[in-house]
A and B are shown apart, each in its own frame.
Chain A
Amino acid sequence: MEFELNCPVPMRHDTIQLAHGGGGRIMRELLEKVMLPAFSNEALDARHDSALLEMGGSRVAFTTDTYVVNPRFFPGGNIGKLAVYGTVNDLAMGGAKPKFLSVGLILEEGYAIEELRRVVEAMRTAAAECGVQIVTGDTKVVDKGKGDGVFINTAGIGLVPEGVNIGPHRVQPGDAVLVSGDVGRHGIAVMSVREGLAFETPIESDCAPVHRLASALLEGGVDVHCMRDPTRGGLASVLNEIATDAQVGVEAVESAIPVEEGVAGACEMLGLDPLYVACEGRMVVFVPGEQAVKAVGLLRSVTGGEGAVRIGTVTAEDKGTVFLRTSLGTKRILDLLSGEQLPRIC
C-alpha cells in the first residue's frame, strides 16, 4: 500500500543510514518526520514501549520488535532468546502481564537448518520461562545475500491490570530514578564477539526477561510512574527520551550508576561510554521519591534485580534535559547521541 505525506519535512539524509537504527537523535528524527505523521493516533502518540488499547472491556498492551543481531549467538544469549525477552520486556514496561507472541522469520537462502533449530529451541524455552505462548507465525525466505541468516520479528500482547497507569505522562519532579542492575553488558558482549576482541574475563550479555521485576513493583504496591528497558542507545537515551516526553529534567549521579568492571574496562579501551551501550535485561523505573527505598528493596528480592539502585531524581528545571553529577562533583549534560557511538582513533 502506498501513502503520501501531506507535508514532507526535509530530512538531513536522503537515504537510510545505519544511524537511523541507532537509537539516537537521527532515529528519533526518522520517527518524527516519517513514521509518526503518517500513522498518528492516540495509542501511538503516547510513545511508550507498548501501545495501550481498550478492547471489549479489557486493557490490552500491544507491541512489536525486530531482531537483527550479529553475531546470532553471543555470550549469555542468542537472537532467539532476545526476540522473546525483548518483546516480553516491552509489554512489561507498559505494566502488562505478557500473554501471547507472534513470530515472523525472514530466512536467508542457504541458512543452516541445524542452527535454525537451535534458535527455535531457544525461543521455545524463553517463552516457557516467561509464561507466554507463541500462537501465530510466518516464514519467508530471501535470496542468498539479501539477508543475514535469520531476522526475527515478534509481536506480543498482554493484559494490563486494573489501576495500572504507566507512561512518561506520569513522571513528575521529585520522582526517583532507579535502574535494576549494571548497564552496558549486552552491547559489549556482542561487540566483543563481532570484533574478535578478547578480554581477560569474557563479558556475558544481561539478556533476560524483566516482567517479574515489573510485577514485583506493581504487586508490592509501588505507584510506578514509568518503566522502560534501556536497549538501543542505553541508559542515557532512555533518560533523554523520558525527559523529553514528560517535559521534566533528570539529574543522575555518575558514581551511583552500576557498570560492571569488565564492561567499564572494555569501554575505556574502545573509547565508548557505557551509558550509551545497550542492555537487554535491565529496566529503568520512575517512582515517587518517597517510595524509592521500598521499590529498590522489591527489585532486589527478584532474580535479575539484585543490583537495583537509585541513580537519580526528576527535577522541575531544565525540561527535556538530563544532567549528570560527575565524580568530581561538577554537573554536565548527558546528551542523546546523534547516531551510534563510534570507536575512537586513539
Chain B
Amino acid sequence: MKFLDEYRDGEAAKRFVEAIHHEVTKPWNLMEVCGGQTHSIVRFGIDELLPKFINLIHGPGCPVCVTPVELIDKAVDIAARPNVIFCSFGDMLRVPGTKSDLFGVKSRGGDVRIVYSPLDCLKVAEENPGKQVVFFAVGFETTAPANAMSVFEAKRRGLTNYSILVSHVLVPPALEAVLSSPQRRVDGFIAAGHVCTIMGTREYEPLVEKYKVPIVVAGFEPLDLLQAIHMLVKQLEEGRHEVENQYERLVREDGNRPAQDLIKAVFEVRDRAWRGIGTIPKSGWGLRAEYADYDAELRFDVKDVGGPESTECMSGLVLQGIIKPHECPAFGTRCTPDNPLGATMVSNEGACAAYYRYRRHEAK
C-alpha cells in the first residue's frame, strides 16, 4: 500500500539497523513515549533487531493506560444512569474500574456506544433531545482538538444535553516526571509524533536544556522508529542533546496553530492523576469556567464515586520504565487481556498487552 509499505520495507530497515550497530559503543536506555510506538516496536520486533546495548523502555503515552481508575468508575456510574447515552472511543470500554467496565454497563442495559469522533456525539445529542449524551474525553494532546471542538460546537449550537467527562493528559509534564524521578534510567526520548503534529516541538526545548537529554520526535512505522533510534544514538554518542524531528512529513516546529487556539479557548491546564503513577502537577487539561456547563463531572455529581487502584498491579512501574511488563509477577498468570488487573493489559497500546500478545513465548 502506498505510503505504508514503504515505511515497513525490510531492506531499508536492515540499512538503519546496520547504521545503528555501527554507531553504538555504549549501553543506552531509550524511552519511546507513545503507546502506539510501543505497539509497533513489539509487533514488528524492532527491539530484537537492535544491538544488545540498546534498551527500549516503554513510556507512559497510552491514554487508556493512564486514565485513573477513579475516572473509569465515574464513567461507569454515569453510563449506568437512566436517560444517559454514554459515548466513548472503543478501547476504553474494556478498561476495568473497581467494580465494572463499560462493557459490563452495556450488558446490563446501559446505552453505551462506540464512536470514532466526539463530533459524532453531537449528532446523537441532536437526535435524542430527551437524553443526556456524555462523551468520555480521554487522551493526550492528539485527541484534544476534536474533543474541544465538540464542546465549542455544542455551545455554538445551543445543545444543552451534551457534556464530556474529561481525562486529558499532557506529554511534557510526564517526561519531566520520568526525568526527575530518583529511579531515572532514561538517556533519551523518542517523542510521540502525533502529539507534536498538534503541539509542535518547541515545548520540548526546556526539557532538553534542563535535563541534558536528547529528544527525537518520531512517527509510528518501523522505519520511523529505526531512524529515530539512529538519530538518538548518534546524539548520545556525540554528546549532544537536542530536539530533532524525524517525523518531518507531519510535524512542524510550531505545530497546528488553529488546533492549539481551539484547545486554549476550551481547556485550561490542571493537575491530573495518572493511573499507576499518581498526581503530576499541571499535567492535564480541564474545561474552562466558560464551558463548565459541559463538564460531566459537575452535571452528574460524581464527587464521591471512585475506588482505589488494585494494589497488585505494577503498571505504574511499567509506565515509568522501571520494570518490563513480564517482570511483573502477575504477568500472564493473574493478569491477562481477558482478566486484566490494570489498564496496561487492556489497551492495544498498553505495554503489558503488547508483550502478552506478541512476546509471551519469550517471557516464560
Contact = CB atoms under 8 A, between A and B. Distances in A.
Contacts of A223: none
B359 A345 contact: no
Interface in A18-44: 18-19, 25-26, 29
Nearest to A330: B45
A330 B139 contact: no
B44 A344 contact: no
Interface string A111-129: 0000000000000000000
Contacts of B357: 333, 335
Interface string B1-21: 100100011100100000000
Contacts of B138: 345
Interface string A317-333: 01001000011111111
A321 B361 contact: yes
Contact of B91 (A318, A335, A344): A344
Given A15-B108, A271-B348, A333-B359, A346 B49 contact: no
Interface string B130-152: 00000000111011000000000
A17 B110 CA distance: 12
Contacts of A265: 1, 4
Nearest to A260: B1
Contact of A330 (B48, B91, B92, B108): B48
B265 interface: no
A342 interface: yes
B143 A345 contact: yes
B177 to A, nearest CB: 21
Given A318-B361, A327-B10, A342 B94 contact: yes
Contacts of A261: 1
A146 interface: no
Interface in B83-99: 89-94
Interface string B228-268: 00000000000000000000000000000000000000000
A264 B45 contact: no
B219 interface: no
Contacts of B356: 335
B304 interface: no
B30 interface: no
Nearest to A259: B1
Contacts of A19: 103
A270 B16 CA distance: 29
A4 interface: no
A18 B93 CA distance: 12
A24 to B, nearest CB: 9
Nearest to A333: B358
A92 B288 CA distance: 62
Contacts of B139: 345-346
Interface string B322-354: 000000000000000111000000011100000
A330 B49 contact: yes
Nearest to A264: B1
Contacts of B92: 345
Given A25-B338, A26-B338, A270-B116, A346 B143 contact: yes
B172 to A, nearest CB: 17
Nearest to A261: B1
A195 B114 CA distance: 10
Most buried by B among A26, A29, A270, A326: A326
A12 B10 contact: no
B45 A12 contact: no
A197 interface: yes
Contacts of B93: 342
A263 to B, nearest CB: 10
Nearest to B140: A346
Contacts of B42: 332
Given A19-B103, A327-B10, A343 B89 contact: yes
A18 B106 contact: yes
Given A15-B108, A326-B43, A332 B359 contact: yes
Contact of A345 (B4, B49, B91, B104): B91
Given A197-B116, A268-B4, A344 B358 contact: no
B46 interface: yes
Interface in A219-254: none
A332 B9 CA distance: 17
B59 interface: no
A345 B63 contact: yes
A338 interface: yes
Contacts of B339: 12
B45 A332 contact: yes
B89 A344 contact: yes
A16 interface: yes
Contact of A327 (B44, B63, B359): B44
Given A18-B103, A344-B349, A333 B36 contact: no
Nearest to A325: B45
B360 interface: yes
Interface string B114-130: 10100000000000000
Contacts of A339: 94
Contact of A17 (B48, B49, B107, B140): B107
B222 A328 contact: yes
B33 interface: no
A328 B348 contact: no
Contacts of B116: 195, 197, 270, 343
Closest A-B pairs by Cβ, 10 of them: A330-B45, A342-B90, A343-B90, A332-B358, A345-B89, A338-B337, A346-B142, A342-B91, A335-B357, A338-B338
20 contacts: A12-B339, A15-B104, A18-B107, A26-B338, A29-B338, A197-B116, A261-B1, A264-B4, A265-B4, A327-B9, A328-B222, A330-B44, A335-B357, A338-B338, A342-B90, A343-B91, A343-B116, A344-B91, A344-B349, A346-B194
Given A345-B64, A346-B63, A346-B140, 6 more contacts: A328-B10, A328-B45, A333-B357, A338-B337, A342-B93, A345-B89
